Amino acid sequence: MHEGVPPGGALVPELLARANAAVGNPDGEAAIELFGAITLQGAFGMLVAADDGAACELGEPDRSDPWRIACVGARVRYVAVRGGIDVPTVLGGRGTLLGAGLGGHEGRALRRGDALRVGALPERPRRSLAPPDLDAPIRVVPGPDVDRFGTGAIDALLASTFQVSERSDRVGVRLSGTPLRGGDAADASAPMTVGAIQIPPSGLPIILGPDHPTTGGYPVLATVVGASVGALAARRIGAAVRFAL
């Protein structure tokens, strides 16, 4: 962050951990974050799995077709391979920051024909982890800019039901619904963090994600606690979002 680079990492860490657990990897091992669909081919006996537990051994003698995974019924999916994807560590992480062309596989999104190297890890027991609760209220703490809003702003946030906007991305989850009363215009940029709920002039909240700007000028009415960030980011476009203290 002090270099002006956002933290990056998995949009939904819980789903990354589920995919890695299904192949016996550590929770944060490098994997594929998927929006849309992907088809994989691999060497004989290469174990791959998705965050829903679906798994396949690529190259099996009785399996002639490559393995295709799609985001059917989900906003984002994760695909892990036994041993993890072998990519270099950049600024402390192995994720891809598309906006800056840093990290991951050549600093860009995957393309047809890309070949990914696989690492080697000691065998670990496979585990089953619970997915994030996509119906539970998103937990927040007030502030830090409550005093820049009118009386009752927090109550209005907690009483409202919003929907995930199609404009959402890794920079932030944008919400649609009844606008909140906006805060005072910023005098200067302030440091930002994942989960910060910015209220722009439109009154419709933006909840910052892993690729958020390191500073921002919109006032922050409340901040999503770390345990709820994944449950928010995993929700499909149009899904309901409610907040609770």
Every domain of the chain and the residues it spans: 1-131, 138-244
CB 160 within 8 A of CB 180: yes
Q: What is the band of 189 on the pLDDT scale with cuts at 50, 70, 90? A: confident
Task: Go through 119-134 and write b for each residue having 16 or more CB atoms within 10 A of its CB, e for each that does not.
Answer: eeeeeeebeeeebbeb
Q: What percent of the chain has pLDDT over 90?
A: 76
| Residue 59 pLDDT | 74
Which residue is it, tokens 């192995």? 94
For residue 116, which amino acid is it?
A: L
| Long-range Cβ contacts of 54-57 (<8 Å, 24+ apart) | 55/22, 55/23
Is the pLDDT at 30 greater than 90? The verdict is: yes
Is the pLDDT at 73 greater than 90? The verdict is: no
| Residue 2 pLDDT | 87
CB 55 within 8 A of CB 44: no
Which residue is it, tokens 């027991």? 125
* CATH class of the domain at 138-244: mainly beta
Which residue is it, tokens 């000028």? 217
Q: What percent of the chain has pLDDT over 70?
A: 95
Q: Pairing mode, if any, of strands 240-244 and 138-142?
A: parallel
Element (H, E) at 39: strand 37-40
Query: Measuring CA to CA, which residue among 172, 202, 198 is closest to residue 186?
Result: 198
CB 159 within 8 A of CB 193: no
